[in-house]
Amino acid sequence: MAHWAEIDKNNQVIRVVVGDNNEADEGYSWLIENLGGTWIKTSYNGRIRKHYAGIGYRYDPDRDAFYPPQPFPSWTLDADCNWQPPIPRPDGDAFYTWNESTQEWETP
């Protein structure tokens, strides 16, 4: 099965569908002919385009990658399209949550 993400004019994913692997183009032609829009292939295992696309994700054409919504305003996107906090999460087995107002990791 091939998976396709439809993106809007702002490169935001608005839906994800499954294409037919019995067709040479994995269902891409059917999507264009029947649904229109702009479709980009995605994969569950992240072998292409860094992440499996989900609704609300964005597509970066320069990186040819999907990335999830920004979890906090202070976090930045790294070269692998993963969001990184301003300070690394502490090591260890404790459960930590990010506190945006204090810019610190906290344990509940």
pLDDT in tens, 23-68: 777 888 889 999 999 999 999 887 899 999 999 999 999 999 999 9
pLDDT digits (tens, 9 = 90+) for 8-25: 999 999 999 988 777 777
**Which position has the higher pLDDT, 46 or 76?**
76
Q: Is 66 in contact with 82 (CB distance < 8 Å)? A: no
Q: Where are the domains of the chain?
A: 1-69, 70-108
* pLDDT confidence of residue 47: 85
The DSSP code for 60 is E
Residue 86 is predicted with a pLDDT of: 98
Q: How confident is the model at residue 61, as a pLDDT?
A: 97
Q: Mark residue 19 as left, alpha or beta (left: phi above 0; alpha: psi -120 to 50; beta: remaining).
A: beta
In this predicted structure, what is the pLDDT of residue 92?
A: 87
- What per-residue confidence (pLDDT) applies to 7? 98
How many CB atoms within 10 Å of residue 72?
12
Q: What is the pLDDT of residue 27?
A: 85
pLDDT band at 103 (very low <50, low <70, confident <90, very high): very high
